Structure 1
């Protein structure tokens, strides 16, 4: 991996990014993030600054704008090729232009191009997104601002479709970061924990339902910024209806009301205790070079804890991979004191010495092995997620989800949220992120508990709405439900009712032959002042659902993705945000120089080197 050096680009030119400001507003389990990036060109020539940075894979990027002096330019969402052509045309005519794109291969990587920044000119770029907060094993809600972006490994023989990522030591990152979060909930904010240094939590009201927290000065850029937010009696089923955009056409996604259903299934203790503890557990451990140091140690510790916790009589095998792959048994063996002792001895000696990150080949081998009758196969994958073929890997997991559930563990800082969450979602399992030893045992035991729970079957969602109102699902059908774990469902509500009546939604499912249902009534009065958060999260969910249908091979699906993205103003792999300062048409003297900003092993925003 090439490394840039210090505070200058490889051409010894000043880095144009000066500071990043991040403001977060958390309402219950949804966060709105506003990032402002400040640039200044101190060179004597016009430059194009290019940055590559991570975002949560399920984030809905919904606003992008640039401010030069007193002039603010708000970007539009357009089809990607059209946006690129407009960007190139603007630069060639001497106009300032700004382009924001999501990676086509991995939805948690974005690139930002700041074009035609004249000598001495400053610019501020604002990027907004909304995201759901994951529920941790101890009931806390996890907000993570990705700061670390790891270089993505491209498998042998694959086309290099990803962005190039280079890095410098964290101590030499040439820009500052400030971070503050405002929390609000109908319930009391109990506490906020973080591995990053924080200023003391400050309550805004006497009920302690609103609070503010800030990152302490001097963040070292060596870890993601993670907040664990705890509310009193937080996890309750709820339905929220949000009014559509007043200026949008009725009958469209943004013009109609949108609804978000949050369900927390609870199975009776009698049912849970009667479930058989059986299964075939296949563990797949990343031993590629990027796992060296603390990561391989963390992965080993996680795997050892899982192995010691398996029920007697189940079956298991352990695979490890890099450029090649290995397995400790020719086939899955029955779990006993003897086989466990053998496995523990081998795992303790495992090192990150197998080269590149080739996940597809061991997965294909595992899927080709016959399943053991009456022993449902559970796949546990441990990786830092440094791959460039994320969509290929998650597609393979999806194709085999009827016979294999997948539980994924992101190891270390900067683990790809697109890969880790995508594996669990497409594999009907659950995702965990382990950056250190904190909360490891709780996370491991939660995933094992979920894996021992039989797959929930016959899941259905039915809506009872006022006359004249119809529902269009935005979320794919639920395929996995776990004890006490939140499930979110989005839908579009079309039409209006003259009656003053409530709506109702019922989620039914069965576990080991026992029927269950969650029934929620809700007032059909849309909330007006919400910033269209639910609409954007619903649009993002629909876009991801459509993208999973391989729109590259189906032009109609691709058109629908573009249409939803443009209409909602939410990014997709086929669209880009484009902003052009049409009042800045001064001819550029000489060639436009490109500057790619260095970050840590890698960070937000990230980069490469100048031309």
Structure 2
């Protein structure tokens, strides 16, 4: 599964009769040491990944050994991408294989409790009640000296990055999810655990990945050390890479796979279960259709919009973007991103900015027209923005935004930035879906461990797109690319048609596609019903859509010979796609969809909110002896700072903090040091030991001249000739003024041309971030300078001694 599987454990002896089991809190990573150094049963984790084209099949095995003298129950929580379809769970105990059965969740829980009370060995795997990307597993009644290997399997689609790379992530980071008063009582995120340095984790992780593509594999990159890529044939259609030994659990393991022709449309046809009757999802052949529409790039639509930026300002945003000490803080990256977005907005639109945490703040009482005055007021607030609003509660500001009046001719475009650490994920997605017809939501998950369930769920519910910003990714680049998408003309009349032999038809399983963005891949699932042709025959599927009155078509022809797959990969992914439209969580799913979701889950074998895997070893019949021995298992501490932060241990601190720094913590090497402090505040990241300074201000933009230049652009796209511009250009204002060709253009025109040339000379590697604001600047300049513009450009290039080609200004 993923380092997912690796996350927090709590160990305890089996419960006595009538005792209730409790869940463990979700924590950053997978801590497995106690302060008293009890042996930890998890010894190693091995992961096998098989990637074929743009689908990954993952098998993760956790190896346990009980070295204690009492029976144990091990409980662990792990993250997983919400698009993953978990379809298999089994255990190998002292040589005996036990395969789990997928059951109604309530029934599975009851059977687990019953088995444990009868002295049997039992295993339970279930999704969290509040999110689709968190799973928990109970390994019950692990006898002294006993060994158990628990294996789970899942399949998932691989998202496509803008540079053509397929992205596979093995989650290792599981951030604490903020608990608010309305949080679920039966969520596995409620018990708080101690923390230890990551270097002291007692288990190892190994991962081997095999990649196959008919188009050829160009290269494989990773954010973690890998073995050299080993090609398994001269045609480079198959390759294998391994995670280098000694991986630290301080980041997700990410692979970027580059194929030769990743944009080629394709259809994969998979044979159904041979022993199942036709007419059922798992009995009929399933098709996975992949399109990459070649939508032409166009100038932004004349139709403006209402742009609302909803920015996470919870305490966790004060942490670094990645585990590297030199990484930019999330809140600082967010501020720079907001400045870029504000400067890139089109004249005539409306906008607003919300910051949220335990409470929320709006820049304006309601969205305002984009003018120089409103932009300057917003920029002033952005510059002072801090990660100072406590926890992470996104539902209330969303509801406030949706209650606002619609602005005729200005469709609502909502941009959500968050590290995604919330427990009411299904409630948030439901709110977005209810309002999905009147807006599009573009979501951004910041840093490792962001909730894929929240980020992908709210985008899917509103026809938007989602992005994840980890490691060295720049939030600015991904946000500006998304803004360009939101400004593109609307694609309309999207339809999919099939041309198949008589007696054969395609039943759509994926939700109807209503929005297509440039640079977006579409994956569609269908169930093939009827009689498959005996002879070699082909079918055709055609994607049609209309853009600005023009009709476009993409066609792909494919052979009608389904291929067998023992794992039924396409069927499982099709079932997962269908479940995502019906399964909105244990409490949020409408009654009309609950039965369908349960039946679909049981038929396909793909776990859902209503099902759980249960495995029982009835050959083991050893009643528990002795009282319950309860122990909380800590997690690793990763503060992302060069030196450990210190916090005070005092009984009047909130409970959320007390557990993180017990009286004995200072006795443990590497633990937080207890001392008397006066300047720290408690925020939602106290749950993982990260305390932010209350009086610490985010650094200014310092020597980042690109951000400084962008900050001083006017709303209409121009710049003023002043000391701020001179500082960026590295010249005195007197020099710039003396070179000004006043007979050709006024001072603002001169300043604007100089600024644009500076961007092309000094920021060309980040052009994707300032392209929209440059476009706005040039539109202003053409209207302002008219026929003198070529002469002004020539004078500016000469003055700056720049090698920029004047042709970029397209006179």
Q: Same fold (TM over 0.5)?
A: yes
Matched with 1:605 is none
Identify the match of residue 434 of structure 2 among 377, 387, 399: 399
Question: What corresponds to 2:175 in structure 1?
Answer: 150
In structure 2, relative to structure 1, the CA distance for the partners of 1:284 and 1:274 (3 Å cut) is closer
Give the equivalent residue in structure 2 for 1:118: 143
State yes or no: 1:504 paired with 2:540: yes
In 1, distance between residues paired with 2:589 and 2:301?
43
Asked if the contact 1:167–1:601 (Cα under 8 Å) also holds between the matched residues in 2, the reply is no
**Which residue matches 2:654?**
none
**Structure 1 residue 455, shift from structure 2 partner:** 3.6
- Do the aligned partners of 2:540 and 2:556 also contact (CA within 8 Å) in 1? yes
Candidates 288, 302, 305, aligned match of 2:314: 288
Task: Report the alpha carbon displacement of residue 286 of structure 1 after superposing the two structures with TM.
Answer: 0.5
Q: Secondary structure at the match of 2:636?
A: coil
Instruction: Identify the structure with the greater strand proportion.
Output: 1
| Equivalent residue for 2:185, pick from 160, 166, 182 | 160
- Residue 336 (structure 1) shift: 4.2
> Is 2:260 aligned against 1:232?
yes
Structure-2 residue corresponding to 1:61: 86
| Matched residue SS, 2:352 | strand
The match for 1:590 is: 626
User: In the TM superposition, what whole-angstrom CA distance separates every residue of 1:77-127 from its partner, at most 9, and x where no partner exists?
Assistant: 111111111111111111111000011220100000000000111111001
Q: 1:11 to 1:393 in 2, by over 3 A?
A: farther
Larger RCO of the pair (alpha carbons < 8 Å, separation 6+): 1
Distance change in 2, residues 1:228/1:309 (3 Å): farther
Alpha-carbon separation, structure 1, partners of 2:236 and 2:591: 51
Q: Look up the match of 1:411.
A: 446
How far residue 313 of structure 1 moved from its aligned partner, in angstroms, is 3.3
Contact (CA 8 Å) 1:96, 1:116: kept in 2 or not? yes
Give the match's secondary structure for 1:299.
Answer: helix
Closer, same or farther in 2 for the Cα pair 1:249/1:48, shift >3 Å? same
Is contact 1:94-1:588 (8 Å) kept?
yes
Q: Is the contact between residue 51 and residue 596 of structure 1 (CA under 8 Å) also seen in structure 2?
A: no
Residues 159 and 69 of structure 1, relative CA distance in 2, 3 Å threshold: closer
CA gap of 1:174–1:549, structure 2 versus 1, over 3 A, is closer
2:365 pairs with 1:365: no
Deviations 1:217-265 (A, max 9, x none): 2222111111111111211111111011222222211111000111112
Q: CA 1:388–1:559 in 2, change beyond 3 Å: closer, same or farther?
A: same
Q: 1:200–1:213: 8 Å Cα contact kept in structure 2?
A: yes
Within-5 A mapping of 1:245-264 = 245-264=273-292
Moved more, 514-523 or 429-438: 514-523
Equivalent in 568, 575, 592 of residue 539 of structure 1: 575
Could you say which residue in structure 1 is the equivalent of 2:305?
Answer: 279
TM-score (norm 2): 0.71
SS class of match (1:397): helix
Q: Partners in 1 of 2:203 and 2:382 — Cα distance?
A: 41
Instruction: Give a deviation string over 1:462-507, Cα, whole Å, max 9, x none.
Output: 2222222232222111132111211111111122234643222222
Q: Tell me the C-alpha RMSD between the 2 structures.
A: 2.5
Matches within 5 A, 1:331-480: 331-480=366-515
Give, in whole Å, the separation in 2 of the partners of 1:9 and 1:199. Answer: 33
Q: Secondary structure at the match of 1:444?
A: helix
Asked if 2 retains the 8 angstrom alpha-carbon contact of 1:471 and 1:494, the reply is: yes
Give the whole-Å Cα distance in 1 for the aligned partners of 2:302 and 2:508.
Answer: 35
- The Cα of 1:74 is off from its aligned counterpart by 1.1
Instruction: Measure how far apart 1:594 and its partner are.
Output: 5.8
Aligned partner of residue 273 in structure 1, secondary structure:
coil
**CA–CA distance in 2 between the matches of 1:423 and 1:576?**
25
Secondary structure of 2:138's partner?
strand
Relative to structure 1, is the Cα distance of residues 42 and 253 closer, same or farther in structure 2, using a 3 angstrom cutoff? same
Does 1:519 pair with 2:552? no
Q: Deviations over 1:528-551 (max 9, x none)?
A: 246311000001111121214988
Q: Render the CA deviation track for 1:374-405: whole Å, top value 9, x for unaligned.
A: 22221000001110000110111111121211
More moved, 190-199 vs 131-140: 190-199
450-459 or 286-295, which deviates more: 450-459
- The Cα shift of 1:318 comes to 1.0
1:328 aligns with 2:354: no
Asked whether the equivalents of residues 187 and 209 of structure 1 are also in contact (C-alpha less than 8 Å), the reply is: yes
The more displaced of 455-464 and 349-358 is: 455-464
Flag the structure with larger Rg. Answer: 2
Tell me if the contact between 1:65 and 1:73 (Cα under 8 Å) persists in the aligned partners: yes
Q: Please tell me whether the aligned partners of residues 178 and 217 of structure 1 are also in contact (alpha carbons under 8 angstroms).
A: yes
Q: Deviations over 1:309-337 (max 9, x none)?
A: 33333322111011111122233233345
- What residue is the counterpart of 2:7 in the other structure? none
Greater helix content? 2
Instruction: Output one character per residue of 1:144-168: Cα deviation in whole Å (capped at 9) or x when no partner.
Output: 1111111111333444342126462
Could you report, residue by residue, the CA deviation over 1:32-64 in whole angstroms, capped at 9, with x for unpaired residues?
Answer: 111111111121110110001101101000111
* Counterpart-to-counterpart distance in 1, 2:378 and 2:332: 16
Question: Cα gap change, 1:472/1:592 in structure 2, threshold over 3 Å: closer, same or farther?
Answer: farther
Q: Does residue 13 of structure 1 match 2:38?
A: yes
Q: Mean alpha-carbon deviation: is it higher for 297-306 or for 389-398?
A: 297-306
SS at match of 1:112: strand
Residue in structure 2 matched with residue 35 of structure 1 by the alignment: 60
Q: TM-score, normalised by structure 1?
A: 0.93
Q: Specify the alignment match of 1:194 in structure 2.
A: 222
Number of matched pairs: 602
Equivalence for 2:704: none
Stretch of structure 1 that moved more, 309-318 or 520-529: 309-318
1:82 to 107, 118, 125: 107
1:567-582 aligned at under 5 Å gives the runs 567-582=603-618
How many angstroms apart in 1 are the aligned matches of 2:87 and 2:33? 32
Q: Distance in 1 between matches of 2:213 and 2:566?
A: 14
SS in structure 2 opposite 1:37?
Answer: strand
Distance 1:227-1:359 versus aligned 2 partners, 3 A rule: same
Instruction: Name 2:653's counterpart in structure 1.
Output: none
Structure 1 contact 137–442 (Cα < 8 Å) conserved? no
